Structure formats: structure tokens, C-alpha cells
Amino acid sequence: MNHLPPGVDLGNIVLPGSASSTVAIAVPEITVPEASVYALHPSLPLATKNNLLEKRYRSVTFLDAYVTGNAYIHPMTGALCLRTTRDEASFKGFVFEAALARWCREFPSGIGKRAFAWCTNRNYNNTTDAIYNRYKVFVRGDKTLAARAETAILYNTGAPFDVQFYRLNEEHNKPEVATLLGTQIEAGIQVKAITGDELTQIINPILNGTYTHVITMLKHANGRHSYEVCMDILNNQRRLKKLTDEQYAVVTRHITHPQDLGINQQFVDEYSHYIRSLYQGSNAAWTEEINQAISLEVCDGLTASPGGILMPVVQPIQISSPLGY
């Protein structure tokens, strides 16, 4: 399965989908690449939407959930199970952390370098591939870090960052986390999957120094992106003299959205919808047909990548309740 995010537009990236992967649309004798169909379009039947979403996201969703501790290997059956006690927004945030790191690995010259340059206060155009290639992206809460001696020190679920970059100091064989340019202060990205309370969860933590850089992923139900809501709040606070011009400039530089890093927002919207369906399904009984339909397929490149998970190519999936096995 191709794990490239559909619709990412970064130079010469080829979109997934081909003549061998098409879906029919209403106009007779016309087919289009599966990847070009907006799975959440209101004119599509529910069954078609679910089929498209499952084909695109079933494998990467469980992989991303596993990285952040929202999935586990059942000790008796060996199946990969989805389980969480977090609320939906928190669950989505954890999955999008792993997704952002995965996209950085899959698109190093685009998403990876953009994310690295932004969170370290570098100019993207002055950040060469040679500079970026010294570093590896990782999720701070990735449990697989603790399993390797050279990266165990990086595992920290209490860190104020979700996604960071490190390089290995060859002299001491220890990882060094990327810092803000010209300082010794660790750099990193906080990933938010919220659709409300932006002042408390994004703006204030940047103002008080809890977060340095925040990417907010989602749109509100009314179609307004959380990033736009942040900008509305900031503009209003500056107008009311609750923020100085300097504070306003600092916060606006340190909040971003998916498209600014080269990630197609439509892909994020679809992925969020699919994650929600899995989240809701994890708290209810899934049919045997659904369980059989889901499998985890890990491409060779991702399996071998830094922070990746060594898993079988095909792994059975089970959905368990939040209460236990």
C-alpha cells in the first residue's frame, strides 16, 4: 500500500493513485484516480465514503496509534488492538503527533525540512538538505525510543514537545536534540487537534513560555480552521491592547497550520474523520466483517526508518474496550 498522504503538493511529489486504482463517479464512462476523490463530499453515499477512508488510512492510523501508545499487541492473540482512555481530541492529537513525524520522514525535502526550519527559527530557504539530513525526527512519547540504548534518553512523555529532531553525537554516541538557532534551548513542535479553547490551549502557553511552536491541525464544525480562530483572537487582543505588538508578533510566528508545512488540509480533514470513526468504534462492539477488513501494512521504507516500528507486513487487528483486554 502506498502510504504517501494524498494531495501533498511539494514540488515533484507524485500523488498516489493510478489507472489501476480508480473509482467510478456518476458521469457514465468516466473514471478518476481514487486519490483525487474528496472522501467527505456530501454527494457521496456513506458506504462509498467509508470505503475510500478505509483504503487510504486504515494502515497508517493503527501505526500512528501504536507509536503513541494508543494501540498494543495483544499478548495472547498477537493482534494489534486499539485502546485509549483519552477523550477524542486528545486521542487525535496523539495520532497526529506520530503522523507528523511520519510525514517528515516520508517527505524529508518538503514537510520534514519545513517543520525543522520553522521550529528551530531557521529560514527555510537557507536550510540546506545537508543541514537537515544530519537530524532524525522523533515523537517524544514514542515507546520504541526506550528500547534502544542510544535513544532511551529521548523518551519523555512529560516533555513540552510532541515532535522533535535529534542527531547522534558520534564522539559520545549520545543523541543531541536540535535547538533554537543560536541558543541551547531545545526546539520542538506541540501538535494540537482541537476545535475550541484556542486561547487557553495554544495562545496562553506560547505567551508564558510553555510551548515554543504549535501546529493546530483541524477545522471547526463551521469550516473555520483553528489557526484562523487563533488569528482572530490575537487580532482582537491586540486591538483591545491586551497584547503588545511584540507579543503579537511572537505568537503569530509560533503558530502554524498543516498547509504552511506542505500538508494538504483536505488529507488532514479526511484523516481526522477516519480517526474519529475508529475512536468511536473502540468504545463499541465492531462486527467481525470490520475486524477482518482492517490490517496493518507497513512499507519497507517506514519499517526501517528512524523511530519506525518493526512489525509484520500483515497484522491482525482487534478493537478492545478502554477497560482492558
- pLDDT digits 0-9 by tens, 62-79: 555 555 555 555 566 655
Phi, psi of 266 (to 5 degrees): -60, -40
Count of beta carbons in the 10 Å neighbourhood of residue 306: 16
Count of beta carbons in the 10 Å neighbourhood of residue 166: 22
Q: Higher model confidence: residue 173 or residue 42?
A: 173
3-state secondary structure of 200: helix
Tell me which H or E stretch contains 279. Answer: helix 265-281
The pLDDT confidence band at residue 3, using thresholds 50, 70 and 90, is very low
**Which pLDDT belongs to residue 270?**
81
Of the candidate ranges 60-64, 115-119, 162-166, the one whose mean pLDDT is the lowest: 60-64
Contact 17, 35 (CB under 8 A): yes
Cell of 280: 468511536
185's CB contacts (< 8 A; 6+ apart) are: 179, 212
Indicate whether 296 pLDDT > 70.
no
86's CB contacts (< 8 A; 6+ apart) are: 70, 94
Contact 202, 232 (CB under 8 A): no
Indicate whether 203 pLDDT > 50.
yes
Count of beta carbons in the 10 Å neighbourhood of residue 81: 21
Angle between helices 88-106 and 46-67 (to 10 degrees): 80
Indicate whether 258 pLDDT > 80.
yes
Tell me which H or E stretch contains 249. Answer: helix 245-253
3-state secondary structure of 318: strand
Contact 280, 84 (CB under 8 A): no
Q: Higher model confidence: residue 61 or residue 178?
A: 178
**Which pLDDT belongs to residue 93?**
82
- Residue 51 CA, distance from chain mean position: 22
**Which pLDDT belongs to residue 299?**
26
Cell of 312: 509484520
84: left (phi over 0), alpha (psi -120 to 50) or beta: beta
Indicate whether 81 pLDDT > 80.
no
What would the DSSP string read from start to end of 167-197?
Answer: EEETTTTEEEE-BSTTSSSB--BEEE--SS-
Taking the C-alpha atoms of residue 192 and residue 211, their distance in angstroms, rounded to an integer, is 11
Count of beta carbons in the 10 Å neighbourhood of residue 2: 16
Indicate whether 17 pLDDT > 50.
no
Count of beta carbons in the 10 Å neighbourhood of residue 252: 16
